[in-house]
Amino acid sequence: MRRFRPDRLLEFLRPFSEYLSSRGVALPTGAHPAIDYDALAHVLMTTDKSTPADLVESLYFVHEMATQQGMDDLLGEAAKHGIHLNLGDDSSPGDVALEMWLARPDLVQRRHAERRLQRRRNFESFKGCRAPTDSRREGPDHAHLAALEKDLGTWFDEHLRGSWCRIVSYPDGTRTLYMVRHGDAMHREPSVAEGKPSVALYRPELFDILAYDAERDELWINAEDRVRDEYRRRFGAHLFGDADYFPPATRFTLEPLRQNGRAALVCSDVSGIGRVHLVEIEYQWRGALSETVVRRAPDLLAVLERYAGIPAKADIIGAKFKILFSDCKQWRTVRVEVPNKAQFKRDDSLLVEDWLRKREFVVTSQNNGPSPDTVLEGTRDDSVPVSG
């Protein structure tokens, strides 16, 4: 609490003065208010059922964004929206977060959600059922977002995660991003209270990220396996009127590595990507044993071109690429897993998606291509050489 300007902290706390007073903390007034930080800290660290949820949520977002990176993000938002913040040369990141919350709490929540999205790596994607001429399917119907929250809350409650659920959505170009906040299973841990051994029982909060691309009619989900299918079905039901609008299906294929060789790594037609290397491939032999083989090398295609290539009787189930983006000197890792998982180390999803599509790693009705069995025709050995 001492990190904030006292006058702005008091303005932040005024809406909760009645609650604080009931807990023995009277907010001071006057030109030079003297805040009892010890008493205030005690109240905030001993919350109970009477603690206003808005107070807890406000403190959470301000704390999360009270960093140098958070300060830069929020100053950028303020400049973009023409918001004047009451700041000076002595303002700290905490002051900026607090000022922005007082001015536009919705923008603080949005930037917080965007930062969480940028840190996420594993996304599973699902293609929607929109027909090109079906104008009714142009985008999600956000009028039913509250009903979706309630429906998801019921599912979380039935699975012992609590019924609380909140969804924050906002546009991002052709995409709509969704941050779903909900509880996890209860945690019970040993603790010390008033000098005696005790047990702390609490429910952690989890954040799941979804992104809907209206241009491509695709839903991307970052969440644990068990809830991912619930998101797929319930987002389809509430926002598109059809629980099967995003059916589970094959999204990616890695067959271009076998069929096109080095041409599958061309990136000159994708602005923003400089070079691409294949560094790992995972394939699984067909048959009862289903043996899985992983091969790695700094330039794996060079190895495959020189030696046996990719076995024709094996299914390619995963690949890892090193990508050098134009705005970064460090190589980034992108992993693709069949049927529909993609992993990125940063928010380069639009560039990566463009490259994957142009190299036909994304399955469409036009580029399903021949199956591995078709490639076997006319070959005598068990491997198909990688073309140059």
Q: Of all residues in the chain, what percent are helix, strand and coil, respectively (each to 5)? A: 40, 25, 35
Domain count, the chain: 3
Residue 374 has pLDDT above 80, yes or no: no
With bands split at pLDDT 50, 70 and 90, how would you rate the model's confidence at 375? very low
Q: How far apart are CA 349 and CA 122, in angstroms?
A: 11
pLDDT digits (tens, 9 = 90+) for 152-189: 999 999 999 999 999 988 887 788 889 898 999 998 88
> What is the residue-averaged pLDDT of the chain?
84
Q: Which of 349, 149, 338, 146 is nearest to 256 (CA)?
A: 338
- The pLDDT value recorded for residue 132 is 56
- Cβ neighbours for 306, distance < 8 A, ≥ 6 positions apart: none
- The pLDDT value recorded for residue 48 is 78
User: Which domain-ending residue is among 240, 264, 279?
Assistant: 240
Q: How far apart are CA 303 and CA 306, in angstroms?
A: 5
Domain presence at residue 61: yes
Mean pLDDT calculated for residue range 70-90:
91
Residues 129 and 53 in one domain: no
- The pLDDT value recorded for residue 118 is 65
Residues 145 and 259 in one domain: no
Task: Look up the domain containing 362 and give its range.
Answer: 255-384
- The pLDDT value recorded for residue 73 is 92
Domain presence at residue 290: yes
Domain presence at residue 372: yes
- The pLDDT value recorded for residue 271 is 92
Residues 295 and 377 in one domain: yes
Domain presence at residue 245: no
Residue 307 has pLDDT above 70, yes or no: yes
User: Which domain-ending residue is among 207, 240, 273?
Assistant: 240
Q: At what angle do helices 93-103 and 6-13 cross, to 10 degrees?
A: 40
pTM over 0.75? The answer is no
Residues 263 and 196 in one domain: no
Residues 157 and 68 in one domain: no
Residue 194 has pLDDT above 50, yes or no: yes
User: Which domain-ending residue is among 58, 91, 117?
Assistant: 117
Domain presence at residue 246: no
* Percent residues over pLDDT 90 in the chain: 42
CA 377 to chain CA centroid, Å, is 43
- The pLDDT value recorded for residue 117 is 66
- Cβ neighbours for 198, distance < 8 A, ≥ 6 positions apart: 190, 191, 192
- The pLDDT value recorded for residue 249 is 75
Residue 104 has pLDDT above 60, yes or no: yes
Residues 34 and 73 in one domain: yes
Residues 273 and 377 in one domain: yes
Domain presence at residue 167: yes
Least confident of 69-78, 193-202, 213-222, 367-376: 367-376
Q: Are the beta carbons of 352 and 344 closer than 8 angstroms?
A: yes
- The pLDDT value recorded for residue 379 is 28
Q: How far apart are CA 279 and CA 344, in angstroms?
A: 15
Higher pLDDT residue, 157 or 124?
A: 157
Domain presence at residue 1: no
Residues 89 and 134 in one domain: no
Residues 276 and 373 in one domain: yes
Residues 113 and 143 in one domain: no
Residues 48 and 66 in one domain: yes
